[in-house]
Amino acid sequence: MSDTRHTKVLIIGSGPAGYTAGVYASRAMLEPVLIQGMEPGGQLTTTTEVENWPGDTEVQGPDLMVRMEAHAKAMGCDIVNDLVTSLDLSKRPFTAQTDSGTVYTADAVILCTGARAKWLGLDTEEKFKGFGVSACATCDGFFYRGMEIVVVGGGNTAVEEALFLTNFASKVTLVHRRDELRAEKILINRLEKNPKIETLWFNEVQEVYGTDSPLGVEGVKVKHTKTGEITDIPAKGVFIAIGHAPASELVKDQLELHSGGYVSVEAGSTRTAIPGVFAAGDLTDHTYRQAVTSAGMGCMAALDAEKFIAEQE
Ligand code: NAP
């Protein structure tokens, strides 16, 4: 028989939004339960140096998330290492089924499931995932010591990953489909000064190729977006850094979504169209997507939930 637990506030997700909601909801004496999901700590656990978290000139992403978890726990948040597999928002109390079999019922739900890495969608990318193709330089960069690496993308993530990978690689080729990066200027300056990085403008990856036994990458074929010219770039590692998509599968048929999957909230709040359901962080934010803005929204969601529960009582 499945175990059922009731909580006033159920927080789903464990990035900056989730843990901050945990801190605030705990301090409001709401005794929240936070379900961490597949990747406790979220996207920041796959980055290295974070230089824009106020109060820390430099902090390692995984360390920051360990501290946030400890902070929420210290305030009284019940942090559960489990995965919500389905969520019923059609009636109150809301019901969440989890991977462990425990069923949670909740008066209010704060959705903080964040976003995850996007892929190019090539068959050959899929074939070599985990065997030379990766979306996480922090996790896998170490395997490519002294080797050539390709990074795909033109945003902050791509530039940060390219810079980080120069710690291991003999050469990093950044492949971007335009001739302008959307990364912050400070990162672009570092990229331009790094002698190990070459940037290939106006190019898109057509194919990842390699060996079958053992399975491993040998390079990529890229196509010039204007001339159609195909160039072969030898590489043992290919890091895809082309952005993220919101993790809204749990609620996609129950809540209004915008911009390709982000949960819609009322302007200036975290309220969704369902009273008692709140959304915070990258799951709802298509524009800013920063740790600090996510944390801010986590705070807002806990305050919105507190108000909602007080009104019900
Ligand atoms: P992003 O800013 O959305 O950039 C994605 C990049 O990938 C863009 O350059 C885009 O090209 C390219 N791209 C997208 N789809 C592609 C495709 N199918 N083929 C080839 N290229 C493709 O994503 P992000 O870099 O992951 O950053 C996400 C958010 O997190 C941003 O708000 C960013 O500022 C933030 N972030 C911040 C930090 C930091 O502050 N330290 C670190 C990492 C991320 P186009 O430019 O042509 O569109």
pLDDT tens digit string along 45-94?
A: 877 778 889 999 999 999 999 999 999 999 999 999 999 999 999 999 99
Contact predicate 183/206, CB 8 Å? no
Give pLDDT tens digits for 220-255: 999 999 999 999 999 999 999 998 899 999 999 999
**Half-sphere exposure of 117 toward its Cβ, with a 13 Å CA cutoff?**
24
Which of ligand 1's atoms lies nearest the C-alpha of 204? 20
Check residue 1 and give its pLDDT.
Answer: 55
| pLDDT at residue number 238 | 98
Residue 263 β-bridge partners:
257
Q: Would you call 136 a catalytic residue per the annotation?
A: yes
Locate the ligand 1 atom nearest the alpha carbon of residue 121 and give its number.
18
How far is the centre of ligand 1, averaged over its atoms, from the C-alpha of 6 (Å)? 39
CATH topology of domain 119-240: FAD/NAD(P)-binding domain (3.50.50)
Q: How far away, in angstroms, is 298 Cα from ligand 1 center?
A: 23
Mean pLDDT of 293-300: 98
For a pocket test of ligand 1, which of 56, 242, 286, 287 has the largest count of ligand atoms closer than 8 A to its C-beta?
242
Region 23-44 average pLDDT: 96
Q: What is the DSSP letter of 105?
A: E
Q: Crossing angle of helices 16-27/291-312, nearest 10°?
A: 40
- Considering only CA atoms, which of 109, 118, 117, 112 is closest in space to residue 16? 112
Atom of ligand 1 nearest to the CA of 180: 46
Predicted confidence (pLDDT) per residue in 119-167, tens digit: 999 999 999 998 999 998 877 899 999 999 999 999 999 999 999 999 9
CA–centroid distance, 157 to ligand 1, in Å, is 6
pLDDT of residue 90: 98
What is the C-alpha separation between 186 and 205, in angstroms, rounded? 26
Q: Whose CA is nearest to atom 22 of ligand 1?
A: 242
Non-local (6+) Cβ contacts of 249 within 8 A are: none
Model's pTM, two decimal places? 0.81
313: which residues sit within 8 A by CB, 6+ positions away? none
Give yes or no for a contact between 181 and 205, defined as CB atoms under 8 angstroms apart. Answer: no
Instruction: Check residue 51 and give its pLDDT.
Output: 83
Phi, psi of 22 (to 5 degrees): -65, -40
Ligand 1 atom 34 nearest Cα: 156
Q: Which atom of ligand 1 is nearest to the CA of 187?
A: 41
Nearest CA residue ID for atom 28, ligand 1: 243
- 309 in helix, strand or coil? helix
Would you say the CATH fold of 119-240 matches that of 4-116+244-312?
Answer: yes
Asked if residues 201 and 179 have their Cβ atoms less than 8 Å apart, the reply is yes
- Ligand 1 pocket at CB < 6 A: 52, 120, 152-158, 160, 177-178, 182, 204, 242-244, 289
For this structure, is 112 an active site residue? Answer: no
For residue range 170-226, what is the model confidence (pLDDT) as tens digits? 999 999 999 999 999 999 999 999 999 999 999 999 999 999 999 999 999 999 999
- Residue ranges of domains in the chain: 4-116+244-312, 119-240
Ligand 1 centroid distance, CA of 182 (Å): 7
Q: What is the CATH number of domain 4-116+244-312?
A: 3.50.50.60
Cα–Cα nearest to 297, from 260, 261, 274, 271: 271
Q: Which one from 77, 82, 112, 140 is the annotated catalytic residue?
A: 140
**Backbone angles phi and psi of 21, in degrees to 5:** -60, -40
Question: Is the per-residue pLDDT at 20 higher than 90?
Answer: yes
